[in-house]
Amino acid sequence: MSSVATFFKYDRKRFVDAADYLAIALVASLPWSTSATSILVATWLIVLLPTLDWPALRREIATAAGGLPLLLIGLAALGMLWADVAWNERWAGLASHLKLAVIPLLFVQFRRSERGVYAIYALLGACVVLMLASYVTVIGNIQVKQYGTVVKDYLSQSAFFTLCVFLLVDMAFTTWREQRRVLATGFVLLAAVFLANIVYVTTGRTALLVIPVLIVLFGLRRNWKAALGAVLVCVVLAGVAWLSSPYLRHRLEASMAMRVAVNAEVIEPSSTALRLAFWSASIDIIKQAPLLGHGTGTIRSQFQQYGTAHPGSLVEHASNPHQQVFAVAMQTGIVGVAVMFAMWLAHGLMFRGPGFAVWFGCVIVVQNVIGSMANSHLFDFTQGWTYAVCVGIAGGMIRARDAAAAGGA
């Protein structure tokens, strides 16, 4: 009997370890491959679920940080009932929410694990390789689908590189205070290489909004002098980038244009003009059902109806308002938006104080909130999974730290 018990105890430990390593691999896959991420999510869940501490999971769901993502999913599930579209569209609308369900699972997993920091380092390492590949394509004039973008798109690449910049700056600050000056200098130089890629190779406009906010937040985490210095650094960096990067100036000027030339004979609306059209239509659509929205999965049909009623509005073929608040409000109304903001707030409040995991989680939340003002980042594959997985891992690490501190006290 004891030998059987010993076997199952050993077997569970193997599953626990495998779930940790799969989560680490999942994080590393995020900048590179949607297919690998999908496969790793499924495999990770299969391995993790038999090892879960279910009472601990119930406790996490009872918290705001763990329960509000599930509440948003539950509201989307209810929203399927009053949607007037085919069921496959309703299911597709619900599926865009489901990634948030992994957050409380990761809280439980990385509260018991000491490998959370390895997941952060794995993401950083994957981004270093991606950054090197980006420079190789530029220097070697290698043809890729977008200049300097090896995989996925420039938006996700610049977002990951922004995350790396601020992780490395925090690591440099910590190691400098520990008198490890050579290592700190190396972190600063690596952060500068990432930042140069954002400014000179693949500029995501969302990153340009996120970077100043994170610079100020980094200073505020120290003291008012550091915050003031952060503002000055932000101004200097902005001036240097503007003066030294024709590419950056072109990107910003193009983003402000309302129409762009495709070729000598064709002129089409710019991405800015399209976004303004989507947002204007979204506001009118939301006004028709402000409290609970039109139902889950109805964004495409609502835009089609609006385009039919307003010829030339540019939205008749749209399926995404490119704004997270509108994407939620169109489906589950003001109630859904309130739950989403409450979730963001709960996660933001979780990442306060000192610590590497705290800063990592803070950067992830800030990136997602700001990026969601011009995109539907919670519902997008890469940005949504990055938010769910990274918030879950960082939150679990913080819970482990707090539990250890409470036990020590």
- Averaged over 312-319, what is the pLDDT? 78
Residue 304 tokens read as 């089609």
Distance CA 401, CA 248 (A): 41
Q: How far apart are CA 238 and CA 252, in angstroms?
A: 13
Note the residue count of the chain. Answer: 409
- The secondary element (H helix, E strand) that includes residue 168 is helix 154-177
Write out the two tokens for 255: 């983003």
pLDDT at 299: 94
Rg (CA), the chain: 23
Query: C-alpha distances in angstroms, 370 versus 26, 59, 207, 362, 366?
Result: 24, 30, 9, 12, 6
- CB contact at 8 A, 393 and 110: yes
Measure the CA–CA gap between 250 and 264, rounded to whole angstroms. 19
343-369 pLDDT, tens digit each:
999 999 999 888 899 999 999 999 999
Q: What is the mean pLDDT of residues 71-95?
A: 95
Share of the chain above pLDDT 90, in %: 56
Rounded CA-CA distance 183/171 in Å is: 9
Tell whether the model's pLDDT for residue 73 goes beyond 90.
yes
Least confident of 212-216, 246-250, 351-355, 389-393: 246-250
Tokens, residue 123 = 């993401």
Contact 277, 314 (CB under 8 A): yes
Mean pLDDT calculated for residue range 150-154: 86
CB-based contacts of 76, cutoff 8 Å, min separation 6: 93, 94, 97, 296, 331, 332, 336
Its sign, for the CA torsion 402, 71, 324, 392, is positive
Distance CA 140, CA 144 (A): 11
Distance CA 312, CA 289 (A): 23
Average pLDDT, the chain: 86
Q: What is the largest CA-CA distance in the chain?
A: 82
pLDDT band at 80 (very low <50, low <70, confident <90, very high): very high
Q: Say what the pTM is.
A: 0.90
CB atoms within 10 A of CB 263: 6
CA 159 distance to own-chain centroid: 8
**Apex 12 CA angle, 55 and 387, nearest 5:** 60
What would the two tokens of residue 311 be?
A: 């010829």
* pLDDT score at 131: 94
pLDDT for 241 equals 66
User: Are residues 286 and 322 in contact, defined by beta-carbon separation less than 8 angstroms?
Assistant: no
Q: String of b and e for 127-165 (b: at least 16 CB within 10 Å)?
A: bbebbebbeebbeeeeeeeeebbbbbebbbbbbbbbbbb
Residues whose CB is less than 8 angstroms from the CB of residue 130 and which lie 6 or more positions away in sequence, other chains included: 31, 32, 150, 151, 157, 160
| Mean pLDDT for the stretch of residues 281-309 | 92
Tens of pLDDT along 115-125? 999 999 999 99
64-79 vs 54-61: helix crossing angle, rounded to 10: 80
pLDDT above 90 (res 407): no
- pLDDT score of 38 more than 70: yes
User: Which amino acid appears at position 372 of this protein?
Assistant: S
Is the torsion defined by CA of 121, 126, 127, 131 positive or negative?
positive
Give the start-to-end residue ranges of the domains of the chain: 52-112+273-409, 153-261
**Residue 260: predicted pLDDT:** 45
The pLDDT of residue 1 is 44
Q: Which of 11-15, 188-192, 203-207, 293-297 shows the lowest mean pLDDT across its residues? A: 203-207
Q: What is the DSSP letter of 146?
A: B
Would you give the DSSP letter of residue 290?
T
Indicate the Cα dihedral angle 296, 299, 300, 306, nearest 10°: 130
